[in-house]
Amino acid sequence: MQINSIFEKGTGAINEDFYCISGNLFGVFDGATSLTDTVYEDGVTGGFLASNIAGKTFANNNASLASLAEKANQAIADAMAEREVNLYQRENIWCTSAAVVRVHKELFEWVQTGDCLILVIFEDGTHEVLIKGFDHDLETFQLWKKFADTSHNPIMSEMAEQIKRVRSQMNVTYGVLNGEQCALDFLNHGGKSLQGIKNILLFTDGLFIPHRDPKEKEDFKLFAQLFRKGGLANVKNYIREVEETDGECRIYPRFKVHDDIAAIALTF
């Protein structure tokens, strides 16, 4: 098995993503950008702490994936309690998406929550995303596109209340690890035979290919083609080139010109 990875900061002040490689366990974690100005030790954000805490918990690789998710979730809760985070205002709550696999001789097991994804590419060139329904920002980006087409005002200020509203729906309509017990109800998990599999790719949403129309469903065909031609670097370079053409995020709706990236590719 060959292992390749990318870990790159976007246009934010720090990289709020995290990745871990620990024996036969591989994971990527995307800490959500804070909706408040609060920072903690060394100027890090809640999103940074959430992704790092979760990733380091999984890196112990000493329990079932579901148990590690539960431990990571509790560790985030404990860290917020230690820093006296006001949990009654949900925009203060730290949270992270996650995608983790553990590889065995003939199969792999996986767990996922939020919008970190696991993409399998088969030897015949076909591909499969292991979970569906990860586009919890769809409504936001549809509104974003509408504002971009009709207003010259800064879009982030226009969308602030919408973004806050979506964040309030974590572990109500979509899942994240954020210290709440109900986060465990939103875990996606399973196992899959390695027979016929060429690659397993794990990545945060910084490696999603931008779309002009938010309603356009991503089938990851282009992603798989780019990867097969030049690996994770080829996918990243394509995305960065597209993003460079739209510095105000008006043509391709997204929260940042360049988002953080954490990605791991396993080749068999």
Q: Residue 268: which pLDDT band, with cuts at 50, 70 and 90?
A: very high
Q: What are phi and psi of 174, to 5 degrees?
A: -150, 160
What is the arithmetic mean of pLDDT over 133-156? 85
Reference 204, options 14, 26, 18, 2; nearest CA is 18
The whole-number pLDDT of residue 133 equals 72
Per-residue model confidence as pLDDT tens digits over 189-236: 999 999 999 999 999 999 999 999 988 877 799 999 999 999 999 999
Listed residue (176, 236, 229, 234) closest to 210, CA to CA = 236
Nearest to 202 by CA among 268, 132, 111, 118: 118
What letter does residue 268 receive in the DSSP assignment? -
Look over the chain and give the mean of its residue pLDDT values, rounded to a whole number. Answer: 94
Structure-token match 């586009």, residue found: 135
Give the pLDDT band of residue 246 (cuts 50, 70, 90): very high
Residue 246, token pair as written in the block: 């739209």
Contact 7, 17 (CB under 8 A): yes
- Which domains does the chain possess? 2-267 (3.60.40.10)
